Structure 1
Amino acid sequence: MATAVSAPTNSPDAHEEEVPPFVYLDPAKVVRDEQNAREHDTEPDEELIASVKEIGVEDPISVRPRPDGTFGAFKGWRRAQAAQIANATAEEDGRPVRRIKAYVREDLVGRDGWTRFLSLVENKHREGMSERDTLRSQELSLIDMSDVERRKATKALGVSHNAAKHAKAAQKLNDATLRRASAGGMDLEQTAQLAEVENVRGAENRLLRALQRDHEEGNGGRGHWDQEMALLHAEQADAAARAKAEEELTAADIPLLREPGYGEKDPSQPLTELTSGLGNPLTEDNHKNCPGHSARLDEEHRPVWHCADPAEYGHKVRPKPKKPKTEEDEQKAEERARTVACNRAWKAAAGPRQEFVKRLVRGKAVPDEARQFAQRIMLDLPRFYGKWADKQRTETLAFLLGAKDPERESAADIAASVPKGRLANVVFAQVAAAFEDDIREPKKFDTARMDHVYLWQSPDRLQASYLLLLESLGRADSGSYQLSEVEDQAVAKHRPDTEA
């Protein structure tokens, strides 16, 4: 029986520095420790068994003593099993019955989190450790640790302080996706983010391409990744809105009409194109009792009321000449689809953009380029800046200044608590908040042109200058921010190297 050779300690450093000398144990007394990080592929292969039969186990295993007199192996469980198998047939084969070298870690009794972490570090670099085992061990070990141990462990693993949360989220992915994510270079946080949007079609490939673009730029940033995630979240929200609209129709027992297949005749008509038998207009209210009452959803997932078969249920089509579908009609449909996609992308781009501004504002000092830009805007007092001030809508400003609850916290109070040496940070945050309000919606009325315009088609000079400033600051900050595709499209005509 092995004896204790080290005193228990609460210091993670002591776990590394005071490892006891190895002792010899009977392999039959070794069992798998509950905190062993490897939960799959735990059996020794034939090659390992053959080696142990010939020369025994060369490298010591690591175990913890258990109350029943056995020892739990948290490192080297496959080697211990190979030794057990070898000893079982040793007498029959004329081989010696061997004991196994082991480090007996009494200091780890009751320290499950740190034990699992040490097992993870051991197994992570060995062949056959699955991505799922790695994630599960990271989650369980980091949860069950003291703050001192957790800080040391996350540094050793090269993960963030939220690693346990990320590891738990990432485990929702299947094994094949986890392997591809790891092979593609996704870190733990990115793998967890992939799990958030996995249900969006093409999400995995889109994120891998964005990650590759970030890697190719070689500055350690993740601007392309953040923009792709924002788009995926927007598409996910759009799909959720449609699903909710469909559920509401189902709950109201209203059929949702499907689009007709190729060559299929579609007898349905929207109520706006129909009248009753007496020629009266049809509405949702006066048509709801018709057996053909049904709906389709428009681009905003609002119901457009239809009758499934007006001729069968006695309705008349409003008299008007029906134009044949032309190439111009198809072009208009394509343009409408493009408009919907660009509007969605414009709104999605606000998330990464505002998060980047928030990081700049929360830094020790905003870049000089940002300070000068904000000063010019405040002194020039452009029309949009005054309109924003009149609205007194400061939630975005509170967010940029670091408010946890921008809807309730006062931007003025937060700004008052900022050290006087960081006044430029507050000024830049205020100017950025005014710009964010100005470009919040993708479509707005342009007083100069007296017409509605889409900002992703033709932003004005100041709006473009704000986006180009952020692009420049993002590149200078190791590529931590990139303009989205729709923003890049918007500012193309305003770039300094673009001919007038």
Structure 2
Amino acid sequence: MATAVSTQTDAPATHEDALPQIVQLDPALLVRDTCNAREHDTDPDEKLIASVKELGVEEPISVRPLPDGTFGVFKGWRRAQAAQAANASAEQDGRPVRMVNAYVREDLVGRDGWTRLLSLVENDHRESMSERDTLRAQELALIDMNDVDRRSAAKALGVGRHAAKHAKAAQKLNDATLRRAAAGGMDLEQTAQLAEVEDVRGAEHRLLRALQRDHEEGSGGRGHWDQEMALLRAEQSDAKARAEAEQELKSAGIPLLAPVSSWHKDPAQPLTELTTGLGNPLTEDSHRGCPGHSARLDDEHKPVWYCADPAEHGHKVRPKPKKPRTEQDEKAAEERRRVIACNRAWKAAAGPRQDFVTRLVRMKTLPDAARVFAQEVLLTVPHYYSSWILKHESEAVARFLGLKDPDKADLTETAAQLPKVRVVNALFAHVAAACEYSIREPRTWSNLLPSQARYLLLLESLGQADTGSYQLSEVEQQAVASHRPAAEADA
């Protein structure tokens, strides 16, 4: 039996290195290896069986010996089954019983991760392997490896270091969604992110559209994708907060009233517009014993207390002049909805923006525009920077510098260990942290100061350069519009 020499810490032999010689095996001794990456469509079709009956298996398969004397096929299982089917009817058809040429990989015994990886590479280059099989094989192959092998395998697969985690997450999607994601050009990380926000209405369509916009720009970046993901996560968080608020009411036994509809008469009234029969005000506590005690949730998912039927339960409506809902009222309601949406979008935009700052700070050489901006702030000490310094906020600086546990990081120790070539990067991290603090409030978008706009416009310009892809979100673009240079705004 052919052998191959390999250690447990090195990658297995390749065709160019020490691949074992081809040996002939009886197809009856062949079984599917548990690490064969293909888990669907594993049976040979009639065309393949007919070919093997006529010509035998022309390309060698790859196997590894198993303790019971059989051989696990991790490459070529469909061909092996075709050979078994051909031999089963050979005597009846007057054909010879044929052996199968195989590489016997003793170096892979006990090395499930590498076996699965080699099977994945083999099948990934062939047609008809499903996206789910590919994801499953990537996950299991990388999990089974040590750190050194995992880095080598990830490089061979063209995936990132978190590929196993991403592959596991992506498998939550159904087969149809996986096919659409692959057809739309999503990579493994993006497919995993789609799985993360799949429950948000329209998430798949919105992400595919964002990805297409990134591809159309041709810079290889993912600025539109990152901004859309931030919005989807914000919407998901908002939906979760509402669901939790609804559950709290349900647990307390308080009915949640349906949204107000112009199509149905609604007798319910908020307690602020009701009194007792004697004219005393009604509060949550005093009304709690009323059978009509109920609630609606406002735009921030806070309960607004109602009585479901004041007349039925003996309450009086506070007298107030009747006035029809005017066009001005409609505009005010629309403006409130717009403000809430912009507040949420502004908060969501902080994630991609701060991720981009982190990438800038970790660059080998900080872009000149970022360096000059940091130097100017340090020399002129504007109000927002001096105010931030007095607060002794260090978590954002530590996060931008890539320190572990940024909320507990010791910047004194970091300063002592900081190489000279990284000082400018650290200064920019310091200035950026102050800028981020100054625009942290949701309503900042509505009245952006020139200094705040300058920071955002700087990041936009750097994002469009070769430093990495970054796009201002829609609400950020809206906020800086009046601060753009006149020539740029006219364009």
Q: Taking structure 2 as the reference length, what is the TM-score of the superposition? A: 0.96
Match runs of 1:111-190 below 5 Å: 111-190=111-190
In structure 1, what is the equivalent of residue 396 of structure 2? 396
Secondary structure, aligned partner of 1:7: coil
Secondary structure, aligned partner of 2:40: coil
In structure 2, what is the equivalent of residue 97 of structure 1? 97
User: What displacement does 1:290 show?
Assistant: 0.4
Matches of 1:469 and 1:193, distance apart in 2: 28
User: Which is worse superposed, 135-144 or 16-25?
Assistant: 16-25
Cα offsets for 1:56-79 (capped at 9, x unmatched): 111111111111111111001011
Secondary structure, aligned partner of 1:14: coil
Structure 1 residues 173 and 280: CA distance shift in structure 2, 3 A: same
Structure 1 residues 499 and 146: CA distance shift in structure 2, 3 A: closer
In structure 2, what is the equivalent of residue 498 of structure 1? 489
Contact 1:91 1:97 survives alignment (8 Å): yes
User: What displacement does 1:414 show?
Assistant: 2.7
Contact 2:234 2:345 survives alignment (8 Å): yes
User: What displacement does 1:219 show?
Assistant: 1.4
Matches of 2:262 and 2:85, distance apart in 1: 66
> Which structure 1 residue ranges, 5 or more long, are not aligned?
444-454
Matches of 2:34 and 2:296, distance apart in 1: 55
Alignment equivalent of 1:462, drawn from 448, 451, 464: 451
Matches of 1:332 and 1:54, distance apart in 2: 80
User: What displacement does 1:227 show?
Assistant: 1.1
Matches of 2:405 and 2:271, distance apart in 1: 45
User: What displacement does 1:478 show?
Assistant: 5.3
In structure 1, what is the equivalent of residue 279 of structure 2? 279
Structure 1 residues 396 and 147: CA distance shift in structure 2, 3 A: closer
Contact 2:12 2:114 survives alignment (8 Å): no
1:360 alignment partner AA: L
In structure 1, what is the equivalent of residue 4 of structure 2? 6
2:258 alignment partner AA: R
Contact 2:6 2:12 survives alignment (8 Å): no
Structure 1 residues 148 and 392: CA distance shift in structure 2, 3 A: closer
Matches of 2:313 and 2:304, distance apart in 1: 19
**How many equivalent residue pairs?**
487
Runs (4+) off by over 4 Å: none
Secondary structure, aligned partner of 2:464: helix
Contact 1:401 1:411 survives alignment (8 Å): no
Structure 1 residues 303 and 459: CA distance shift in structure 2, 3 A: same
Match runs of 1:263-274 below 5 Å: 263-274=263-274
User: What displacement does 1:322 show?
Assistant: 2.4
Matches of 1:111 and 1:391, distance apart in 2: 54
Cα offsets for 1:29-76 (capped at 9, x unmatched): 111011100011111111111111111111111111111111111001
In structure 1, what is the equivalent of residue 54 of structure 2? 54
Cα offsets for 1:207-226 (capped at 9, x unmatched): 11111111111111111111
User: What displacement does 1:28 show?
Assistant: 1.1
Matches of 1:15 and 1:317, distance apart in 2: 84
User: Are 2:358 and 1:369 aligned?
Assistant: no
Matches of 1:377 and 1:79, distance apart in 2: 69
User: Which is worse superposed, 235-244 or 86-95?
Assistant: 86-95
User: What displacement does 1:439 show?
Assistant: 0.4
Contact 1:64 1:106 survives alignment (8 Å): yes
Contact 2:12 2:107 survives alignment (8 Å): no
Matches of 1:330 and 1:55, distance apart in 2: 79
Cα offsets for 1:62-113 (capped at 9, x unmatched): 1111111111110010111111111111111122211111111111111111
Secondary structure, aligned partner of 1:294: strand
User: What displacement does 1:479 show?
Assistant: 4.5
Secondary structure, aligned partner of 1:4: coil
Matches of 1:23 and 1:426, distance apart in 2: 61
Structure 1 residues 5 and 384: CA distance shift in structure 2, 3 A: closer
Contact 1:401 1:426 survives alignment (8 Å): yes
Matches of 1:178 and 1:389, distance apart in 2: 48
User: What displacement does 1:261 show?
Assistant: 4.7
User: What displacement does 1:433 show?
Assistant: 1.0
Contact 1:220 1:478 survives alignment (8 Å): no
User: Which is worse superposed, 298-307 or 326-335?
Assistant: 326-335
User: Which is worse superposed, 196-205 or 490-499?
Assistant: 490-499
Matches of 1:429 and 1:111, distance apart in 2: 44
Matches of 1:267 and 1:245, distance apart in 2: 23
Matches of 1:136 and 1:499, distance apart in 2: 52
Matches of 1:390 and 1:477, distance apart in 2: 35
Cα offsets for 1:346-376 (capped at 9, x unmatched): 0111111111111211222321111111122
Contact 1:219 1:478 survives alignment (8 Å): no
Matches of 1:180 and 1:218, distance apart in 2: 21
1:228 alignment partner AA: E
Matches of 2:397 and 2:80, distance apart in 1: 61
Matches of 2:56 and 2:14, distance apart in 1: 27
In structure 1, what is the equivalent of residue 299 of structure 2? 299
Q: Taking structure 1 as the reference length, what is the TM-score of the superposition? A: 0.94
User: What displacement does 1:341 show?
Assistant: 0.6
Matches of 2:21 and 2:398, distance apart in 1: 58
User: What displacement does 1:422 show?
Assistant: 2.2
User: What displacement does 1:135 show?
Assistant: 0.6
Secondary structure, aligned partner of 1:177: helix
In structure 2, what is the equivalent of residue 451 of structure 1? none
Structure 1 residues 413 and 8: CA distance shift in structure 2, 3 A: closer
How large is the RMSD of aligned CA atoms in angstroms? 1.6
User: Which is worse superposed, 224-233 or 356-365?
Assistant: 356-365
Matches of 1:8 and 1:363, distance apart in 2: 39
Matches of 1:415 and 1:202, distance apart in 2: 46
1:263 alignment partner AA: W
In structure 1, what is the equivalent of residue 461 of structure 2? 472
Cα offsets for 1:187-230 (capped at 9, x unmatched): 11111111111111111111111111111111111111111111
Match runs of 1:155-234 below 5 Å: 155-234=155-234
User: Are 2:420 and 1:420 aligned?
Assistant: yes
Cα offsets for 1:153-183 (capped at 9, x unmatched): 1111000111111111111111111111111
In structure 1, what is the equivalent of residue 353 of structure 2? 353
Contact 2:2 2:23 survives alignment (8 Å): no
